Amino acid sequence: MSEPQEKDAGPARVDPKLLEILVCPLTKTTLQYDAAAQELISRAAGLAYPIRNGVPLMTVESARRLDDAPAANEHGQR
């Protein structure tokens, strides 16, 4: 009956139902989930919204432009 806990199993998972209803705040288009980068990608807006501790940060200010470098260890970005 006991299933293994995912304490050290990598990045936090995002609820699949949440992913189904989230849209880009700028374009209102669907988002692509990038589990490895922990981002939600909006191709229409050219933005990647970060996911922190399983929570998508859906503001333009927290997003990175897709033509920028990947989000790995970027902390000083607007």
The chain-wide mean pLDDT, for the chain, equals 82
Assigned domain for 6 exists: no
The helix/strand count (H/E) of the chain reads as: 1, 5
Assigned domain for 46 exists: yes
Looking up residue 44, the CATH number of its domain turns out to be 2.20.25.10
Domain extent, residue 41, equals: 16-65
Assigned domain for 29 exists: yes
CA atoms of 6 and 3, how far apart (whole Å): 9
Look at residues 23, 61, 22, 27 and name the one whose alpha carbon lies nearest to residue 46. Answer: 27
Is the Cβ–Cβ distance between 62 and 56 less than 8 Å?
no
pLDDT, average across residues 19-43: 96
Indicate if the alpha-carbon torsion angle 15, 16, 17, 19 is positive or negative.
Answer: positive
User: How many separate domains does the chain show?
Assistant: 1
What is the percentage of the chain residues whose pLDDT exceeds 90? 59
Is the Cβ–Cβ distance between 61 and 20 less than 8 Å?
no
Assigned domain for 52 exists: yes
Assigned domain for 4 exists: no
Reported pTM: 0.73
